[in-house]
Chain A
Amino acid sequence: DVKVTQSSRYLVKRTGEKVFLECVQDMDHENMFWYRQDPGLGLRLIYFSYDVKMKEKGDIPEGYSVSREKKERFSLILESASTNQTSMYLCASSLTDTLNTEAFFGQGTRLTVV
């Protein structure tokens, strides 16, 4: 079974802190994604990566950056956390970018910025 593991289930951080969310997948998938999920807004794509050291902006990249130094690991970085970044963050991976490929999600990290 594919496993996508996010380093934390719950995080509480202070405004202005630099926050790192880590995601690891164990199935040698090429593509990795970071989403945030908010009530009434659904899932929104922050960044994705289709190869090591490659990244592309999603729909809401402002205030975030990412790092993919190894194929299995994709990190989301909040440069200076703000209260409007309080959200559920979901990491996902998929084997390729072909049409019917399935994205597998981690269990999510609920981040609260105070």
Chain B
Amino acid sequence: KNQVEQSPQSLIILEGKNCTLQCNYTVSPFSNLRWYKQDTGRGPVSLTIMTFSENTKSNGRYTATLDADTKQSSLHITASQLSDSASYICVVRVNAGNNRKLIWGLGTSLAVNP
């Protein structure tokens, strides 16, 4: 069964600290993995996409990694800011002929406190 699991479910950190969010997936065949940031009461916004051949990709203070062998991805946030408080959602794309589908994780809720 195609699944995407994220951990932790929620996280509280102090402003300026770093954190790492995890995404494990059992999806086949894997096409790509995308991280979204969703502010409270808003729609998700894409942070980065990881394809099979990519190991690391950065977008400002956000760095995503992908290990296709262990089917794990992480999102590392450096020097956190109050505006990083949001839900971070991992989504994996399945692509096999006519089966083109997105498998969504439940997200990690991050609170950055001053």
**Interface of A with B (CB < 8 Å)?**
4, 9, 40-45, 90, 92, 97, 99-100, 102-108, 110
Contacts and interface: CB of A to CB of B under 8 A. Distances in A.
A107 B43 CA distance: 5
Contact of A102 (B34, B51, B89, B105): B34
Contacts of A108: 41-43
Contacts of A45: 102
B95 interface: yes
Contacts of B49: 100, 102
Interface size class of B (residues with CB under 8 A): 20 to 34
Interface of B: 31-32, 34, 41-46, 49, 51, 89, 91, 93, 95, 100, 102, 104-107
A102 to B, nearest CB: 5
Contacts of A41: 106
Given A4-B43, A42-B107, A92-B43, 7 more contacts: A42-B105, A43-B104, A102-B34, A102-B46, A103-B102, A105-B43, A107-B43
A47 B34 CA distance: 21
Contact of B43 (A40, A42, A99, A106): A106
Contacts of A99: 31-32, 93, 95
Nearest to A40: B106
B106 A100 contact: no
18 contacts: A40-B106, A41-B106, A42-B106, A43-B44, A45-B102, A97-B100, A99-B32, A99-B93, A99-B95, A100-B32, A100-B51, A102-B34, A102-B49, A103-B102, A104-B46, A105-B44, A107-B41, A107-B43
